[in-house]
Amino acid sequence: MPKATGVKQVAQNKKAYHNYHILEKFEAGVELFGTEVKSIRQGGINLKESFCAIKGGELFAQGMHISPYEKGNIFNREPLRPKRLLMHKREINRLHDRIKQEGLALIPVSVYFKNSRVKIELGLAKGKKLHDKRETIAEKDTNRDMERKLKERHE
């Protein structure tokens, strides 16, 4: 059977862009079991309330909900169990130092398949204040209005 190539987006955390300023992005592998991968292929993943934590030199994704595989049996895992993320030790240590010193958060931004492997994109993020969120919404509205007016002119 030929290996799948390319990148296929599975889930995206749109709330992360609303609540945080994403400063930097990183790619990590995810340690999963077979039924979890099958469930992700069906789109049974939710990143809304998820975050990452570093414990004992290892990186874990907390609150990432993977629905139980409907055709699975005893091999299904708990949907909200912490998932270990796979990165090089020096990258994890660098992230740990930045999180501790600068008061940043590590937030899952998206999940995708890359050459048939599940990857997660992490964002090193700084929380937005309420006025920042309002500015972002106003900016999006003005851009949408400008696009609409340009489209009307060209028709």
In a domain, 137, yes or no: no
pTM listed for this prediction: 0.75
- The 3-state DSSP class for residue 124 equals strand
In a domain, 115, yes or no: yes
In a domain, 119, yes or no: yes
- Report, in angstroms and rounded to the nearest whole number, the Rg of the chain calculated over CA atoms: 18
Check: CB of residue 108 under 8 Å from CB of residue 121: yes
In a domain, 103, yes or no: yes
* CATH number for the domain harbouring residue 26: 2.40.280.10
In a domain, 113, yes or no: yes
Report pLDDT digits (tens) over 71-95: 767 767 777 888 888 889 999 898 8
In a domain, 147, yes or no: no
Q: How many domains does the chain have?
A: 1
Predicted pLDDT of residue 20: 84
Q: Which two tokens stand for residue 65?
A: 């909900």
In a domain, 141, yes or no: no
Long-range (24+ apart) CB contacts under 8 A made by 72-78 are: 72/35, 72/38, 72/39, 75/33, 75/34, 75/35, 76/35, 77/33, 77/35, 77/36
Q: Give mean pLDDT in consecutive 10-residue pieces for the chain, a chain of 155 residues.
A: 70 84 88 81 85 88 82 72 88 88 86 87 85 85 90 81
Q: Which two tokens stand for residue 147?
A: 């696009």
Predicted pLDDT of residue 2: 55
Tell me which residue range forms the domain holding 61: 7-128
In a domain, 59, yes or no: yes
